[in-house]
Amino acid sequence: MGPRWARNGSFLVYRRLNQDVPAFNRFLREAATRLSATTMPGLTPERFGAMVVGRWRSGAPLLRAIQNDDVDLASSKASNNDFDFLNPGSAADQFPPALADPAGEVCPAAAHIRKVNPRSVPTDQGGEVRTLVRRILRRGIPFGDPLPISSENDPANADRGLLFVSYQASIQNQFEFLQSAWANSEGRPTSQLTGNAGHDLIIGQNPASDRSRFILVGVDQTRVDAPPHIEWVYPTAGGYFFSPSRTALSIVLGSSHQSIGPSSSKPRTGWRARKSTRLA
């Protein structure tokens, strides 16, 4: 048992993620060119990129904006997240209702947003209630100079990417689980519905002995292989930390002269009871 002041705290994961934007754009163009000539006529690199991520560049979900990006949809916080992979959406706003897509024919089952948050689709962990405990609270801050849209070259070879942080109650059962058990797996999290649908091509990091990665796309579930030995997103720094609750900070900073340990005795005089604030 940890010290009393650790109660209601959260664990923080930090990652500095470099992004090879030109290489990713080249992959999107080359894959879209091959697919448009065979099973998916008219497929553009932009739409294929939305299939790999599950959202368009603006953030609009593919299941509510199938053919083209929709900046207005992305700007609507409620509508932007009002979709479910298993069930159809309702026409509760001015945007097209979300499609039901359990087999990943529109938004691939291995798309990034489905790998890390399958929503109501049953997974290898069970039903929706069993998978909710895997969710994390995360934010990202981009760094470095942006490139022109769809640029495949960077003469300056500049350093750019994302500063990622996430809060969770358990690093092992949430952050590490999402990365190792789901993102890096061919068949998880929804293998019983889709079979081996592929890897998360955005954050998946397979062992060095086997860098092969793929994703199944479209109604025909065409296999698209990522270039071997190339990662578009790779960590260059990071760490695991404990983030105390605001209650703990007020106790520590307001009573730094007093001993705060795992004792089960009542707080000393001068400590004021405050309502705990849970961050995870």
State the pLDDT at residue 14. Answer: 98
Residue 164 lies in a domain: yes
Residue 69 lies in a domain: no
Q: Where are the beta strands (DSSP E) in 150-213?
A: 161-168
**Domain count of the fold of the chain:** 1
For residue 55, list its beta bridge partners. 61
State the pLDDT at residue 209. Answer: 61
More confident residue, 228 or 62: 62
Closest Cα to residue 279, out of 4, 12, 3? 12
Region 217-229 average pLDDT: 93
Region 178-198 average pLDDT: 89
How far apart are the C-alpha atoms of 188 and 199, rounded to whole Å?
9
Residue 269 lies in a domain: no
How far apart are the C-alpha atoms of 274 and 164, rounded to whole Å?
31
pLDDT tens for each residue of 199-221: 999 997 766 666 789 999 999 99
Task: Dihedral sign for Cα 123, 128, 133, 136, please.
Answer: positive
3-state secondary structure of 139: strand
| Residues whose CB falls within 8 Å of the CB of residue 148, separated by 6 or more in sequence, listed in order | none
Can you give 209-233 as a three-state secondary structure string? CCCCCEEEECCCCEEEECCCCCCCE
More confident residue, 256 or 53: 53
Residue 84 lies in a domain: no
State the pLDDT at residue 195. Answer: 85
How far apart are the C-alpha atoms of 237 and 143, rounded to whole Å?
14
Residue 64 pLDDT > 80: yes
Where is average pLDDT lowest: 39-48, 182-191, 252-261? 252-261
Residue 103 lies in a domain: no
| Residues whose CB falls within 8 Å of the CB of residue 124, separated by 6 or more in sequence, listed in order | 188, 189, 190, 191, 192
Region 225-238 average pLDDT: 90
Q: Which domain holds residue 196?
A: 4-54+108-254
Residue 274 lies in a domain: no
Region 79-83 average pLDDT: 94
Residue 150 lies in a domain: yes
**Contact 178/116 with Cβ under 8 angstroms?**
yes
pLDDT tens for each residue of 91-106: 789 999 999 999 999 9
3-state secondary structure of 52: helix
Residue 18 pLDDT > 90: yes
Residue 64 lies in a domain: no
| Mean pLDDT score of the chain | 87
For residue 141, list its beta bridge partners. 163
State the pLDDT at residue 275. Answer: 33
Region 25-51 average pLDDT: 97
State the pLDDT at residue 254. Answer: 72
Alpha helices for the chain (secondary structure H): 21-36, 45-53, 71-75, 77-80, 112-116, 128-132, 176-177, 191-194, 246-254
pLDDT tens for each residue of 264-280: 444 333 333 333 333 33
3-state secondary structure of 18: strand
**Contact 245/277 with Cβ under 8 angstroms?**
yes
Residue 261 pLDDT > 60: no
